[in-house]
Amino acid sequence: MILSKLFYKRDRGGKWLNEINEISDDIPIDIKKEDEIFRMWSYLNEFRAGFIISGSESNLEAHREAHLLFTSAPPQITTITVQHGFECVGFLMNRTHQHRHGSLVSFAADIICGWVPEYLQRDMLSSQRSKYVYTGPSAWIKKTSKRDLHSGMNLSCNANSIGIVCENLHSVRFRSQANVDTFMDQFFELASFLSEKGKSIALRPHPGGQYSIKNNVSLPMNVILETRPSYKVNWSEYSFGISAPSSVLFDLIINQVPTAMWQDQFYQVDTDQIPFLPIVSSARDMTAFACNPSNSIIGNHDQRLDLILTDTDLVATRFLDVLQDACRTPPSAKAIVEQSCSYRRLKESRPGIKLLIMAPSKILPTLFIALVRPLREMKNIEYMLIESICSSDSSDRKKEVQEKVTALVDSFSPDILILCREYRKDSQILLKHCRERKIKSIYYIDDLLYEASLEVLDQEKYDAYRKRAPTIRALLESSDIIYCSTKYLAKEISNAFGDNKAIYGDIVESVDIKKMHFSHSRKKIIGYTGFGHTQDLGLVEDVLIEVLQSNKDWKIELIGTMVPSKKLLSLGKQIILIPPERDFESFLKLLRSREWSIGICPLIDNKFNRLKSNVKWIEYSQSNIATVASASPVYSESCSDGCGIMCNTKTDWLHALQELMQRPERVDKLVKSAQSKIMDRYSTRRHIQQLEEVFAEVLA
């Protein structure tokens, strides 16, 4: 057993080291401290075959030690990552996970073992799915030929008369100290209520976080602290259990304990992944549940729950099959990838046009929808995507950038350089070098990046736009062609930089027709997506409040970074805030999963907004959502012919929303018309033709 340096750092009291020593007494094992990576490689290379298992391995910083070990393991050693909880980074992530860690979590392991079949692991990257094996939760394995984890399960109290509350207050899902304080305050009220009745209550701190222990929380006399590992707790003896979203809920469920899940009253703690349990959000809810836990049967078994609560012997058999295969077939040799590598080749095809693409981020939505997605389907195209050239901050940085640019261009020899929303000085050096080498250049632009508007941007974003503007102007002036997202933006660019530089196409975002779906089944939800756009949302907040107060069974959901006003937040349970999903394909999956009826596109009428594109209409329409938009050139063509509703005034907005809320058949008609237009005008095939014309234009 290899113990990492971080293990010793976190296990300051030695509790978990004692557990490991107990295991080593039952099963003769060697315990080895993690060492320098080359020494670990030498140690592992002494074995002819074998496997390493970790429950905390990914490319996230918190899992760095295991990830580096797996990356560098000798080829005869199979590496296995095990899903360590139901909501788990890289497998199935809640909203706070997504906001904190993003959507590009990957594993170095050769084999990935998880709780449910692969198709239910919503947040697993496509590149990881071929390594996935559905085993079920490893925690269900309670007995092997060497150890019986059912033995020694004794409680120090009459558990039949008490319940248990489990805290995982260290978790990022709580989002703020206010939610942590609220949870503990409600627990104290529950303890006080039970104390008056002469009853005790157990409190179990999370084994890793141990918030109540590490913070020396003063507990009432009738609170019994349960600190043993879950495999030593006799869960079935408790009369009820309460926890915020956590894997401990499944320990309670599988042991037939009446279980409730805690959520704050403002819905900041995401419970969407566990819809099959009753919710408690106040001390009153907790006490009511404690008094009558028999009413809390699981009423809504879903597919995931049925698959998780699988036969424990079957889980053991699946793991044995995985380990036997790992011993029989050593994986192919692995290469250690340099972490600082700043560019990667995404696709190679037979010789044709070679594109060098630079963008501020490889997960920039504009980059993906306008370039990467159609390029993936194009023949005779080879492209390289870079998001940085040099990470050095030395005094000779400019010289280093020039040297790396020269090496990059010489090695790849592109026909065309494409800059997508670029604003950095390094891209100027790259563009200058390409011009000297007679390499054609395109600047792709989908916003008036050099002329920001404080009317629609917050101060921080506005200041960033202004700071970047001089560099953006210089890049636009030096590029051979400026490829614009709309004809209105192209006209503006032509006026500023010359008639011969700006071109545009009809398609900003194309749609894979096979993935577009229509369904009569939708939820009573009005939705809005976007990065920023708080001011645009303000246009319709009074209307939203009016229609939602009149229709209490409807909700408004906001996906993105917009900040709703206090007035809008007064809707309470009728407003749901969902953090942004920056990976575009994951965003579309999220959008479809919400099953909105109506998607809104409010826009303040000014120059900056009039030059935007219709991507919201496309994303709503392909996701089975009817669009209601501001009357703007942005949406005039899209919403025409009964493909959406456009509004000039607040009265228009009110009537449009009321009509769609009351007439689902009208929603169906709008969506069908919009999807028909998408199939005709916004297919990937047409997008490819558009890009071919752009490349022909710049190379002519």
For 202-254, the three-class secondary structure string (H helix, E strand, C coil) is EEEECCCCCHHHHCCCCCCCCEEECCCCHHHCCHHHCCCEEECCCCHHHHHHH
Q: Residue 269 in contact with residue 99, Cβ under 8 Å? A: no
> In this predicted structure, which of 312-321, 357-366, 604-613 has the lowest mean pLDDT?
312-321
Q: Residue 466 in contact with residue 452, Cβ under 8 Å? A: yes
* Mean pLDDT of the 174-186 span: 84
pLDDT for the residue numbered 580:
79
Same domain, 382 and 465: yes
Same domain, 367 and 490: yes
Tell me the C-alpha distance between 16 and 13, whole Å.
8
Q: Identify which of 605, 653, 659, 661 has the alpha carbon closest to the alpha carbon of residue 633.
A: 605
439: in domain: yes
* Mean pLDDT of the 347-372 span: 80
pLDDT for the residue numbered 302:
56
639: in domain: yes
475: in domain: yes
Same domain, 498 and 541: no
Same domain, 61 and 165: no
User: What contacts 689, CB < 8 A, 6 or more positions away?
Assistant: none
Structure tokens at 305: 């729950």
Q: Which amino acid is at 13?
A: G
Helix (H) / strand (E) element for 201: namely strand 201-205
Same domain, 187 and 323: no
Same domain, 525 and 633: yes
Same domain, 197 and 320: no
* Percentage of the chain modeled with pLDDT above 70: 92
Residue labelled with tokens 């870079």: 386
pLDDT for the residue numbered 175:
66
Structure tokens at 573: 């349970």
Tell me the C-alpha distance between 523 and 518, whole Å.
14
- CA torsion sign for 658, 664, 670, 674 is positive
pLDDT for the residue numbered 304:
65
Helix (H) / strand (E) element for 528: namely strand 525-530
Could you tell me the CATH number of the domain that includes residue 563? 3.40.50.2000
104: in domain: yes
pLDDT at 149 over 80: no
pLDDT for the residue numbered 148:
58
pLDDT for the residue numbered 157:
43
**SS3 of residue 320 by DSSP:** helix
pLDDT at 351 over 70: no
2: in domain: no
- The per-residue pLDDT for range 422-447, each reduced to its tens digit, is 999 999 999 999 999 999 999 999 99
- CA torsion sign for 456, 459, 461, 466 is positive
What domain range includes position 567?
513-682
Same domain, 632 and 544: yes
CA dihedral 547, 548, 552, 558 (to 10 degrees): 150
* Percentage of the chain modeled with pLDDT above 90: 47
12: in domain: no
594: in domain: yes
Residue labelled with tokens 């560098």: 72
* Mean pLDDT of the 584-600 span: 91
pLDDT for the residue numbered 143:
58
The residue ranking higher by pLDDT, 161 or 188, is 188
Tell me the C-alpha distance between 45 and 606, whole Å.
65
pLDDT at 156 over 90: no
- The per-residue pLDDT for range 644-660, each reduced to its tens digit, is 999 999 999 999 999 99
19: in domain: no
What does the mean pLDDT of the chain come to? Answer: 85
Q: Residue 522 in contact with residue 636, Cβ under 8 Å? A: no
* Mean pLDDT of the 529-551 span: 92
Same domain, 281 and 320: no
* Mean pLDDT of the 285-292 span: 91
Same domain, 555 and 620: yes
pLDDT at 179 over 60: yes
The residue ranking higher by pLDDT, 265 or 572, is 572
Number of domains comprising the chain: 4
Same domain, 254 and 278: yes
Same domain, 498 and 358: yes
Tell me the C-alpha distance between 163 and 185, whole Å.
17
pLDDT for the residue numbered 375:
92
